[in-house]
């Protein structure tokens, strides 16, 4: 493909002179702000509506969630190091950092599954109260986004192992990296608004 | 070619003049983010009274801008991309602050 053969610093022949894929991704991320804005607002509206069930301060384990936050933050660093390695043409390090990022993402999702299981044992089900529904929907949607990111990262690792992910295709890694950093940004908001203001 | 397209192409050319940050810079940025997160977590264990919400909002905003500027490369990239992202956040803020106001959300706070 002509696009695949482009150097990382060349630009495709488009009307604007910039990558259509990158432009589309930024428009997508802009629209995602509205999705998560809606979910966060709904949580804020219902956070005190517990129907006699467990409240946020009853169930939240801030030290545990803080560790998860650090893990996700660290994954943003490894993601950007993966892109940096590929831009230098270092495909081996690119694979290592991509795999590390996916593993850190998996640790985060695993932590979320553990947290949800613990909350369920304490009586906080999805339909227990408006608070619980809003909480699980918000954090669940975020978890799904992280999981989709992990699938994309692992796909990149497979493509790289086949030898099809070279310096010339650095933009592909950059685009998935942008999505990954966006997921991290959303967690920055969720961690503060949902967990720390209990 | 339209004037807008020419302007954007000029911005793309300007973007090419910038080098990407080094790995060492990225580690430095991550360290700063880690320190801010640690400070956020400390507010949970130490009572900072009425400064809690403002302090958390400032730290959250700082982290957001650092990730967007350095990890998402908006600092080096063309302003149009920043426009889409900031535009999305601005639109979401306006829509949902209006929604929260409609539902009298702010009445639960003592200002």
Average pLDDT in chain A: 92
Query: Is a pLDDT exceeding 50 seen at residue A7?
Result: no
Which 3 state secondary structure label does DSSP give B26?
helix
Place A67 in a pLDDT band, splitting at 50, 70 and 90: very high
pLDDT of residue B110: 65
Query: Is a pLDDT exceeding 50 seen at residue A3?
Result: no
Model confidence, pTM: 0.88
pLDDT in tens, A123-169: 999 999 999 999 999 999 999 999 999 999 999 999 999 999 999 99
> Which residues of chain B from 9 to 68 reach within 8 Å of chain A, CB to CB?
9, 12, 16, 20, 22-23, 26-27, 29-30, 33-34, 37, 40-41, 43-44, 52-53, 56-57, 59-60, 63-64, 67-68
CB A72 within 8 A of CB A108: yes
CATH of domain A20-196: 1.20.120.80
- For chain A, what percent of residues have pLDDT higher than 90? 89
Interface test with B, best of A188, A190, A198 (most B CBs within 10 A): A188
Q: Which residues contact A27 (CB under 8 A, 6 or more apart)?
A: B84
Which 3 state secondary structure label does DSSP give A194?
helix
Q: What CA–CA distance (Å, rounded) separates B107 from A197?
A: 17
pLDDT average, residue stretch A28-43:
95
Please indicate whether, in this complex, the C-beta atoms of B80 and A34 are within 8 angstroms of each other.
Answer: no
Place A70 in a pLDDT band, splitting at 50, 70 and 90: very high
Q: Where are the alpha helices (DSSP H) in chain B?
A: 3-16, 23-45, 52-66, 79-102
Low-confidence ranges of chain B (pLDDT < 70): 1-19, 110-111
Place A6 in a pLDDT band, splitting at 50, 70 and 90: very low
pLDDT average, residue stretch A71-75:
96
The ipTM (two decimal places) reads: 0.86
pLDDT of residue A4: 45
Number of CB pairs < 8 Å for A and B? Answer: 131
pLDDT average, residue stretch A162-190:
96
User: In chain A, whose CA is at the least distance from the CA of B86?
Assistant: A30
Q: What CA–CA distance (Å, rounded) separates A67 from A108?
A: 9
Residues of B within 8 A of A88 (CB-CB) are: none
């Amino acid at each position: 493909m002509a696009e695949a053969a482009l150097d990382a610093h060349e630009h495709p022949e488009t009307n604007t002179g910039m990558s259509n894929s990158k432009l589309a991704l930024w428009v997508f991320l802009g629209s995602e702000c509205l999705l998560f804005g809606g979910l966060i607002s709904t949580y804020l509206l219902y956070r005190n509506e517990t129907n006699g069930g467990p409240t946020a301060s009853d169930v939240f384990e801030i030290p545990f969630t803080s560790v998860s936050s650090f893990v996700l933050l660290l994954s943003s660093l490894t993601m950007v190091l993966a892109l940096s390695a590929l831009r230098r043409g270092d495909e081996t390090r690119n694979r290592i950092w991509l795999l590390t990022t996916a593993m850190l993402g998996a640790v985060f999702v695993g932590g979320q599954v553990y947290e949800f299981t613990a909350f369920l044992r304490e009586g906080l089900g999805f339909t227990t109260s408006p608070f619980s529904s809003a909480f699980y929907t918000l954090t669940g949607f975020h978890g799904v986004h992280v999981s989709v990111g992990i699938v994309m990262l692992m796909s990149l690792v497979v493509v790289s192992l086949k030898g099809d992910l070279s310096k010339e295709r650095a933009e592909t890694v950059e685009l998935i990296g942008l999505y990954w950093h966006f997921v991290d940004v959303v967690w920055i908001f969720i961690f503060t608004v949902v967990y720390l203001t209990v | 070619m339209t004037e807008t397209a020419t302007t954007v192409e000029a911005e793309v050319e300007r973007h090419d003049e910038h080098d990407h940050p080094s790995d060492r810079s990225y580690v430095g940025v991550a360290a700063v983010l880690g320190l801010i997160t640690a400070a956020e977590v400390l507010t949970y264990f130490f009572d900072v009274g009425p400064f809690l919400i403002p302090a958390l909002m400032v730290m959250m905003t700082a982290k957001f801008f650092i990730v967007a500027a350095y990890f998402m490369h908006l600092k080096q990239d063309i302003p149009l991309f920043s426009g889409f992202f900031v535009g999305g956040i601005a639109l979401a803020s306006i829509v949902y602050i209006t929604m929260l106001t409609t539902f009298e959300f702010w009445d639960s706070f003592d200002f």
